[in-house]
Amino acid sequence: MLQRGFTGIISDVERGISEISLSDPYSFKKRTFLEAVKIIYEGALNFVLRYSRLAETLARNEMDEDWRDELLKIAEICENLSKRPPQTFREALQLVWFTHLILHVESNGHSVSLGRMDQYLYPYFKKDLEEGKMAYEEALELIKCFLIKMNTLNKVRPWSETKYKSGYPLFTTITLGGQTSDGEDSTNELTYLILEALAEVKLPQPTVILRVHSKTPDELLIYAARVLIRHGGGLPAFFSDEAVIPALMNIGIPLNEARDYAIAGCSEAVIPGKSLSFTGGDCYFNLLKILEITLNNGCNPRNGVCLCKATKDLDELRSIEEFIEEFRKQLSYYAKFIVPLTSITSAVDAELNPTPFASSLIDYRINIGADISEGGGPNSKYSNTIIQGHGIANVANALYAIDELVFRRRLITLKDLRTVLLNNWEGQQGEKLRRLVLHLPKYGNDIDEVDRYATIISKIFYDEIMNYKPFRGNIFGLSLQGLTANVPEGEVTGATPDGRLSGEPLADNASPHPGTDRNGITATLKSVAKIDHSLFINGNILNVKLHPSTLTDSFGNIDEKKISRFINLLKTFLIDLKGFQVQFNIISADVLREAQKDPAKYANLIVKVAGYSAYFVTLDKKLQGQIISRTEHVF
Amino acid sequence: MDRGLIFNIQRYSIHDGPGIRTLVFIKGCPLRCLWCCNPESQKSQPEIMYYKNLCTGCGKCVDACPTGASRIKNGNVILMRDLCITCGACVNVCPNNARRLIGFYVTVDEVLNEVLKDMKFYSRSGGGLTIGGGEPFSQPQFTRKLLREAREHSIHTAIETSLYASPTIIKDVMRFTDYLLADIKHIDPVKHKEFTGVSNELVLKNIRLIVKESLVNANNIVVRLPLIPNVNDDHENLIGIANFVKSLDSEVAVELLPYHELGKHKYEALGMEYPLYKKFKHIFTPSKEYIEKIAELLSSLGIKIVKT
């Protein structure tokens, strides 16, 4: 888009129309598509011109000289963009905004991502600086304005979907850093500038992520860590080239292209301009529910429906391996539904919601004359249909508990365990058992005996899903991310062997169940790294809660020594252990106050107390109060 | 000795030596510093911590206690420590986690297996193993063996100690130590005894020995000063310590450990009184400016200050 501009693409489209041959059986389809694109772009030109005229009108009546000059500049830029591709940084940024806006007008979003902004805007940035047309400060100001503009977009969803995506997210993601296609580090001044803008603007959107690889300069990571503290809302998130690139190559994308990846939405790895990870019409698997169904002979205890009756009675299962085999059979039964479910939504989407404008931006679609909703095309190896798996932490914990209590210690049979769970752990025996279970080792503590179940189940999930092919072609792409599905999905899942009460939320994404990771952050990272992330092209997300004192001194100032260790932590997890992604939440005082009122929910909140760390809930109220007041100094 | 009594293994420790480290806390200490923030580390046996603020009075611990140490008195659950055999039964049944058993026995191998888990984090950050506590030299054979095995696995080793131990033992253990963090609580032996229960002659002798015989590289030694306002922050003490450090080697650094009260609540949970308040009024937590002033004073005397 930047290279061709609106007018350039119109001429491509016109040429495309003129080249359609009558003997082509798809000629009518291609023509319809291309003419639709042309209409949109002509509309886009008008749209841009209307801004130009409006700015001019406002300028005519403007008293303030500076603002008038600004308005005239705006008018000029918009008029230029209606005639030709952008030539300056500001024009390029403006065109990116218009494109982004029009994409949202067309399809309502979401997950329309901005790709590698620090890379594609760099030539314009560099040229303007070299020619003396723009200073750093102006570029920073423009980027900040752009980020603020991002927050003016919103989307209204039906309540059933809103529950799964709490917080009004549009999932627009900017990807920074990473490698060139030759494998060299691609950091540039814009990388820093966009991070700086993020820190200053402190808004929740867009998501900004930093790609980390073995040659990422420490200086950049330190800067990003400081931005993380300053921003205060978990941005930037960190992704690993060492995990993502193999995952892309695993689906047949050549190395030099894989190196050019960006993240779309939450954690989907895509090749800018080529990939389509279809975020609509995908399926969510409540893996813990499947475990519950397995424990109930293939029946859903909530409504008594038995779709895939178990072949073996619970009493016949002699080992955890046999139980997992029954789990796999249940998963296998439900897995095949992804085909009709996604096919229907994909087909209807193609018929009712074609997106010619979006299609025009995918670099082969104009040539083949087909909307992206139809899938296919010579480069379809870049696209996939998302399938998510939820509750991996709970499943791992549950399987370990079953193995320990039923098969090794023989404290209870599977049938009796099922009864206890159906009664939501009630009664003296149930309570005692639950307390026992809650003290068993959990995923997130770097204990191989539990973590191995996360590895095993995630692999089973992958194997089962990969048996099928989606309507849109190529493959289903897996992810253990879960948005906020863990809450509504928990509501329909009864009590489970990991100690969960009926209706309690599942763990989020690939993170440990809240309160259960008690061996410190290195242990949590190591547990998550044991999953084979190369199987999950649409990403696995790890949410880590950090107390600000992990990065600041007792007076709230950024502590350089702590930052230095923090980036080593990051590098070890992302580069050496090949974790896919990690994001950090720096806790605010409000959360700590909540923890005072409800300690059980925040059992794993650790505060660095000076020479030692402690669980916040074991501290007396006055001390908690003192720490809360300390936290307030940080931001 | 292959077995040791420890009370915690803390991964991602960032205050106890360079890089990302795993800190092993030895239980047992010959000193009784008035300001100690790890009182649960002092005794050389396991003990029960009882957090009254979390107790709901359900009485499950009373039912579970084999000796009657946990009992109801005046409607409240109390713990009679002289009857307690630290079996941990109450810990297992308490639904509110109000009881904790502090201190457990481990072999060197068990500890090492845990320490090895973060190898990749150590490699990247120049980190490793730190033994602290409590006082590592209160279990010298265990400490020595753990450090030696860590070395054999190419793990960087550090020790946090009061250095209150025999020079022979010190020499033997320092052989396996890459980095030393040693406290000087007070330069005056009488005051030192008043504040910690022991004199400082042995401590100072050991520091001199270590530097003189290069048992640890001078630039891997950090002398730590617990800074307790109105107790040991007088100029005489500070200058005395500065002179002592200067007499060692210019590479030896000093780290200030400002007083804090974040361990105070643990005393009650251990059934102990907070000793500092018994002897001193006017105790306060130092401000940033206060600490900076002291750091400046020491710097001006030519001391290398570690930035915390």
- Does the structure show a pLDDT above 90 at A51? yes
What whole-number distance in Å separates Cα of residue B297 and Cα of residue A230?
Answer: 33
| pLDDT confidence bin for A229, thresholds 50/70/90 | confident
Identity at B70, one-letter amino acid code: S
Q: Which of B9, B11, B38 to mutate to test the interface with A (most CBs of A within 10 A)?
A: B11
The chain-wide mean pLDDT, for chain B, equals 94
Q: SS3 string of A144-196?
A: HHHHHHHCCCCCCCCHHHHHHHCCCCCCCEEEEECECCCCCECCCHHHHHHHH
Question: How confident is the model at residue A161, as a pLDDT?
Answer: 76
Q: Which residues of A touch B52 (CB under 8 A)?
A: none
Considering only CB atoms, B124 lies closest to which of A550, A561, A571, namely: A571
Looking at the complex, does the CB of residue A63 fall below 8 Å from at least one CB of chain B? Answer: no
What whole-number distance in Å separates Cα of residue A54 and Cα of residue A238?
Answer: 41
- Number of A to B CB contacts under 8 A, please give it: 98
pLDDT tens-place string over residues A438-456: 999 999 999 999 999 999 9
- Does the structure show a pLDDT above 70 at A626? no
3-state secondary structure of B139: coil
Question: Could you identify the residue written with the tokens 């617990």?
Answer: B226
DSSP for B153-205, written as a single string: TT-EEEEEE---S-HHHHHHHHTT-SEEEEE---SSHHHHHHHHSS-SHHHHH
Looking at the complex, does the CB of residue A610 fall below 8 Å from at least one CB of chain B? Answer: yes
How far is the CA of A105 from the CAs of A110, A355, B164, B261, in angstroms?
A: 11, 10, 74, 58
Question: How confident is the model at residue A378, as a pLDDT?
Answer: 67
Nearest CA in chain B to A550: B14
Rounded to 5 degrees, what angle do the CA atoms A365, A369, A372 make?
45
Looking at the complex, does the CB of residue B16 fall below 8 Å from at least one CB of chain A? Answer: yes
What whole-number distance in Å separates Cα of residue A309 and Cα of residue B262?
Answer: 57
| pLDDT confidence bin for A520, thresholds 50/70/90 | confident
Q: Do A275 and A560 touch, CB atoms closer than 8 A? A: no
What whole-number distance in Å separates Cα of residue A85 and Cα of residue B208?
Answer: 74
Q: Residue A494 burial (CB < 10 Å; 0-12/13-18/19+)? A: buried
Q: SS3 string of A322-348?
A: HHHHHHHHHHHHHHCCHHHHHHHHHHH
pLDDT tens-place string over residues A395-404: 999 999 999 9
The chain-wide mean pLDDT, for chain A, equals 88
What whole-number distance in Å separates Cα of residue A481 and Cα of residue A475?
Answer: 18
Share of chain B above pLDDT 70, in %: 99
Q: Which of A545, A555, A568 to mutate to test the interface with B (most CBs of B within 10 A)?
A: A568
What whole-number distance in Å separates Cα of residue A269 and Cα of residue A248?
Answer: 8
How far is the CA of A219 from the CAs of A229, A561, B94, B232, in angstroms?
A: 16, 14, 49, 40
Radius of gyration, CA atoms only, chain A: 26
Looking at the complex, does the CB of residue A446 fall below 8 Å from at least one CB of chain B? Answer: yes
What whole-number distance in Å separates Cα of residue A567 and Cα of residue A575?
Answer: 11
| pLDDT confidence bin for A288, thresholds 50/70/90 | very high
- Which tokens go with B293? 């002033």
Cβ-count burial A563-581 (b if 16+ within 10 Å, e if not) = bbbbbbbbbbbbbbbbbbb
Radius of gyration, CA atoms only, chain B: 21
How far is the CA of A187 from the CAs of A116, A118, A131, A179, in angstroms?
A: 11, 8, 22, 8
Nearest CA in chain B to A603: B97
Contacts for A425-432: CB closer than 8 Å, 24+ residues apart: A425/A495, A425/A501, A431/B95
Question: How confident is the model at residue A609, as a pLDDT?
Answer: 35
Q: Cβ contact (<8 Å) for A620 and B53?
A: yes
Looking at the complex, does the CB of residue A214 fall below 8 Å from at least one CB of chain B? Answer: no
- Which tokens go with B176? 């396996």
Question: Could you identify the residue written with the tokens 């503590």?
Answer: A445
Domains of chain B: 3-44+103-305 (3.20.20.70), 54-102 (3.30.70.20)
Looking at the complex, does the CB of residue B40 fall below 8 Å from at least one CB of chain A? Answer: no
The predicted complex's ipTM stands at 0.86
Nearest CA in chain B to A623: B262
Q: Which residues of B touch A550 (CB under 8 A)?
A: 14
- Does the structure show a pLDDT above 50 at A199? yes
Nearest Cα to B21, choosing from B135, B144, B126? B126
Looking at the complex, does the CB of residue A576 fall below 8 Å from at least one CB of chain B? Answer: yes
- Does the structure show a pLDDT above 60 at B148? yes
What whole-number distance in Å separates Cα of residue A189 and Cα of residue A150?
Answer: 22
Looking at the complex, does the CB of residue B53 fall below 8 Å from at least one CB of chain A? Answer: yes
Nearest CA in chain B to A432: B93
Average pLDDT over residues A241-270: 93
Q: Cβ contact (<8 Å) for A572 and B257?
A: no
CB count in 10 Å sphere of residue B236: 11
What whole-number distance in Å separates Cα of residue B116 and Cα of residue B17?
Answer: 17
Backbone phi and psi for residue B108, each to the nearest 5 degrees, phi listed first: -60, -40
Considering only CB atoms, B121 lies closest to which of A559, A572, A611, namely: A572
Q: Which residues of B touch A618 (CB under 8 A)?
A: 51, 54, 100
What whole-number distance in Å separates Cα of residue A194 and Cα of residue A140?
Answer: 7
- Does the structure show a pLDDT above 60 at A279? no
Q: Nearest CA to CA, how far is B223 from chain A (Å)?
A: 15
